[in-house]
Structure 1
Amino acid sequence: MTTTTKPRIHYDCTKCPAFCCSIYERVVVNQRDINRLARHFELTIEEAERRFTKRNGDERILRRQKDTLLGQTCKFLNLETRGCSIYHARPQICREYPGRSRCGYYDILQFERETQEDDTVLPLIQLRFLKPKREA
């Protein structure tokens, strides 16, 4: 008899300020995600796409909102609770995140709080993706 055990999770999203919802400039959505949003809000697919997404080149991404804590964040982040306001209708990419038993952003948060000996410290994290320049 073989048993499969899930890897132990080493993060608690309820203790994080929602870095994953804020530091990524774009959350790509697919047609299934838009269909899910439309059902959740009882809208047509076209209306859900128009209200909740926008084009970014050839990608369709979620709209964002201003966030006094981290600058900009996902349109669906509840700014008071720092939780997802559409948790059961969230996009697939959010459902799969972080895709492993550890979350690097949560690890940074915990490390800084322990190092600073302050459970309220909030490290500011910024992601920038640069393409390396190729030599001619």
Structure 2
Amino acid sequence: MSTTTKPRIHYDCTKCPAFCCSIYERVVVTQRDVKRLARHFELTHEEAERRFTKRNGDERILRRQKDPLLGQTCRFLDLETRGCTIYHARPQICREYPGRTRCGYYDILQFERATQEDDSVLPLIQLRFLKPKRDS
């Protein structure tokens, strides 16, 4: 028995409507990510940065597009196939996501479809980050 066996993955991105591309308002990109995009599109670093990113305070983030299914999404999501159009040039944060053997959004999707007994059900997921109030 090998001690280097990979853990079993419990999600299938091709069966998901791309929740991770849609529910996060900000996808932070590094200079290395912009360089990868520039190379992919055969652009200068500056042109890739201008076309594909914008500033959000101190962060550089990917631009977004309107999504008829989930409201807003990453500008690189194909709205028909729900797949990434820059898969091999995607930012590092996307490469590492979800960073474990399970994806919570995929689990919710599968749970709701099984509960409703309908494979077309699409639960709407919204993330809101609230700062807890501290007692004075």
Bin of the TM-score, shorter chain as denominator length: over 0.9
The equivalent of 2:46 in structure 1 is 46
Cα distance in 2, alignment partners of residues 127 and 2 from structure 1: 40
Pairwise CA distance, 1:2: 5.5
Identity level (%): 90
Structure 1 distance, partners of 2:40, 2:135, is 49
CA distance in 2, matches of 1:116, 1:109: 11
Q: Which runs of 5+ in 1 are unaligned?
A: none
- Tell me which residue corresponds to 2:19: 19
Deviations 1:29-49 (A, max 9, x none): 000000000000000000000
1:55-112 deviation line (CA, Å, top 9, x unaligned): 1110000000000000000000000100000000000000000000000000000000
In 1: Cα distance, 2:106 partner to 2:49 partner: 31
Q: Report the Cα distance in structure 1 between the residues aligned to 2:91 and 2:116, rounded to whole angstroms.
A: 35
Question: 2:56, 2:109 → 1: CA distance?
Answer: 30
> What RMSD, in angstroms, separates the aligned Cα atoms of the two structures?
1.0
Alignment of 1:25-104 (within 5 A): 25-104=25-104
Matched, 1:118 2:136: no
User: Could you say which residue in structure 2 is the equivalent of 1:3?
Assistant: 3
Unpaired runs of 5+ residues, structure 2, are none
TM-score between the two structures when normalised by the length of structure 1: 0.97
Greater than 6 Å deviation, 4+ residue runs: none
2 CA distance for matches of 1:2 and 1:122? 39
How far is the alpha carbon of 1:135 from its aligned partner?
Answer: 2.5
Cα deviation, residue 116, structure 1? 0.2
**How far is 1:132 from its partner?**
1.2
TM-score by length of 2: 0.97
Q: 1:119 to 1:2 in 2, by over 3 A?
A: closer
